[in-house]
Structure 1
Amino acid sequence: MALVGNKIYFLLDNNSIIEFVLDKHTLGLVEEVPCTYDQILIMSTEDGCLGLAGVERFNFNLNLWSKVASIDGVVTWTHLSVIELVKILAPEAVSVCMAGGIGAHAVGCAVDADVIFIDVYPSIYMIHLKSMKIEEVSKERVGKQYVFPYTSFYAPGIAIGGANDQVELLNNS
């Protein structure tokens, strides 16, 4: 799911995208995505358009796409960039995936932080898109693990809890 302006987009199993316009309460079908990846991630782009990311299975290229309007008003998918993961991942991470025929997958993003999360079994990495720095955020895991990036925020003038309140973080992995 991706929120872009006043629209929410949902990716379907057949790689089509449904668009729900919040203020008009209308539902529409966006054309199928222009590429075939094992797993596609839809997101808002930096310039406020609908975007997607996907990793080519055997060459470890992360592809970024955006829905862009041309001068004559025609909206099409535009290939923005290719990030060669073999150049920024540790060689042992790439070799484990290639030997097992597993590949890598885009599994989450935090648009405001300009990062994408990549599953390169058995770890999950965070790629900072501007600096191309990469961090391992989850090491070996058992079973399926999902990434739910979030951004904390607050509303000025609203108090939440007292000084003595404690928050316990639970790790379900």
Structure 2
Amino acid sequence: MPSECFFGRNVLMATEDDGLGFVNSVSHWHRLCLWSREAGPDKDARWVQSRTIDLKALLPKEALSTFLHVAGFAYGISVIFVRTDVGIFTIDLKSCQAKKVYKYGRCNYNLRTPALRAAFTEGPRIGTSVA
């Protein structure tokens, strides 16, 4: 894993081409960094930052003034779940839009990264999501 990803929260995900990737968030940066595994010049696999999402442009100001981290990824619909002190938001990777999906009160959330076996053997599984 790249050294800049040792801080913050990392969640495994499938990339657009069904490869292995992960998303990293660090609260004080207010951004999500998407990483994918690619072959290097010597055909050694390495992590490459494929995309950065600026959360300042997507989330309300009150969500940015608190802690935030990646809470999960929904495979098949390319949605990242971001947890903040004011609620859980989804970030749609295709439209790059955010939506608040849960307002805190008593929150007993349980978001899990889905099995990525399909990314290596079977191709995408439609309908697979976090539970």
**Fold shared per TM-score above 0.5:** yes
Q: CA deviation at 1:152?
A: 4.0
Q: Whole-Å Cα distance in 2 between the matches of residues 119 and 62 of structure 1?
A: 12
* 3-state DSSP of counterpart to 2:29: coil
One-letter amino acid matched to 2:32: L
Q: Does 1:109 align with 2:73?
A: yes
Q: Whole-Å Cα distance in 2 between the matches of residues 145 and 88 of structure 1?
A: 22
Q: Which runs of 5+ in 2 are unaligned?
A: 115-125
1:15 is aligned to: none
Pairing partner for 2:38 from 51, 68, 73: 68
Q: Whole-Å Cα distance in 1 between the matches of residues 51 and 90 of structure 2?
A: 17
Count of residue pairs the alignment pairs up:
115
Pairing partner for 1:139 from 103, 112, 122: 103
1:58 is aligned to: 28
Q: Whole-Å Cα distance in 1 between the matches of residues 12 and 99 of structure 2?
A: 22
1:84 is aligned to: 54
* 3-state DSSP of counterpart to 2:28: coil
Q: Which runs of 4+ in 1 moved over 3 A?
A: 148-153
Q: CA deviation at 1:140?
A: 1.3
What TM-score do you get using the length of structure 2 for normalisation?
0.77
Q: CA deviation at 1:130?
A: 1.4
What TM-score do you get using the length of structure 1 for normalisation?
0.60
Q: Is the 8 A contact 1:37 1:57 kept in 2?
A: no
One-letter amino acid matched to 2:50: L
Q: Whole-Å Cα distance in 1 between the matches of residues 8 and 111 of structure 2?
A: 17
2:120 is aligned to: none
Give the % identical residues.
30
Q: Which runs of 5+ in 1 are unaligned?
A: 1-32, 98-102, 154-173
Q: Does 1:46 align with 2:16?
A: yes
* 3-state DSSP of counterpart to 1:58: helix
